[in-house]
């Protein structure tokens, strides 16, 4: 069965950096687009970033553009999110999600358990 | 402020029916597939409806989805206390090239 396991969350000061990882198993990782979605405490879901199955196309939410970088290593079945210049408002649970289909014609069919990122001084 | 608009909350008695609306625009709902997700507090979201009106295996037919123009609707019949959760609609915005979600709707089964 599909399994997505995020790691790398923690407490970081404003302006700091973190790299999240998402280890995938149970499916052919290299064939699927992947996304990061976050949820601030007590708030709704917020889409963060997308990466095409082969890594050739990436999109970002305006709120993270220029600060976050999504990447993947298909040889390691792992998705990454490099987060720089972190702000207090980036505090959230970060989920990686497997995407069935392609942007506009797809859906998030599997989600990890999430990893908490807390940005605080 | 979410790109997609959902009511903050809905409620109904056990056994009753409820609908949750999701309103967008031509650049998102109007020209792309809509999906719906159920999230129990403290847990990850779970896919409920995909491609506007399809249910993944294991999702009971009490859950249904529909889309018309720039709006989508999630319907739940035969409400159970176990259905209490937050529900989110989601799609892609082709003009902005971003994923978008509704603000979420909290379902209370009275």
Instruction: Measure the CA–CA gap between A63 and A73, rounded to whole angstroms.
Output: 25
| Total Cβ atoms within 10 A of residue A51 | 23
Chain B interface, mutation test: which of A107, A112, A113, A115, most B Cβ atoms within 10 Å? A107
CA angle, corner B26, sides to B22 and B30, nearest 5? 60
Mean pLDDT of B82-96: 97
Beta-ladder partners of A36: A49, A96
The alpha carbon of residue B14 is apart from the nearest alpha carbon of chain A, in Å, by: 25
Q: Is there a contact between A117 and A12 (Cβ–Cβ < 8 Å)? A: yes
The answer to whether residue B1 scores a pLDDT higher than 90 is no
pLDDT tens per residue across span B49-75: 999 999 999 999 999 999 999 999 999
pLDDT value at position A51? 97
pLDDT bin (cut points 50, 70, 90) of residue B32 is very high
Mean pLDDT of B24-38: 97
Per-residue pLDDT of chain A (121 residues; tens, 9 = 90+): 999 999 999 999 999 999 999 999 999 999 999 999 999 999 999 999 999 999 999 999 999 999 999 999 999 999 999 999 999 999 999 999 999 999 989 999 999 999 999 999 9
By Cβ distance, the residue of A44, A60, A114 closest to B104 is: A44
Instruction: Measure the CA–CA gap between A94 and A17, rounded to whole angstroms.
Output: 15
């Amino acid at each position: 069965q599909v399994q997505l396991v995020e790691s790398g969350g923690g407490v970081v000061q404003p302006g700091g950096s973190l790299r999240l990882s998402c280890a995938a198993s149970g499916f052919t990782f290299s064939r699927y687009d992947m996304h990061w979605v976050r949820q601030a405490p007590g708030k709704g879901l917020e889409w963060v970033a997308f990466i095409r199955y082969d890594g050739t196309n990436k999109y970002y939410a305006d709120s993270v553009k220029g600060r976050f970088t999504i990447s993947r290593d298909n040889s390691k079945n792992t998705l990454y999110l490099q987060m720089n210049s972190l702000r207090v408002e980036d505090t959230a649970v970060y989920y990686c999600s497997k995407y069935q289909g392609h942007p506009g014609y797809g859906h998030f069919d599997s989600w990890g358990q999430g990893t908490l990122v807390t940005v605080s001084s | 402020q979410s790109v997609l608009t959902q009511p903050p909350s809905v409620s109904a008695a056990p056994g009753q029916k409820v609908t949750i609306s999701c309103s967008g625009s031509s650049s998102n709902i109007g020209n792309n597939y809509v999906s719906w997700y159920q999230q129990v507090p403290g847990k990850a979201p779970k896919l409920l409806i995909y491609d506007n009106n399809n249910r993944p295996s294991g999702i009971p037919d009490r859950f249904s989805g529909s889309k018309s123009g720039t709006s989508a609707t999630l319907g739940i019949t035969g409400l159970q206390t176990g259905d209490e959760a937050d529900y989110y609609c989601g799609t892609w915005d082709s003009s902005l090239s971003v994923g978008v979600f509704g603000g979420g709707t909290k379902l209370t089964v009275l």
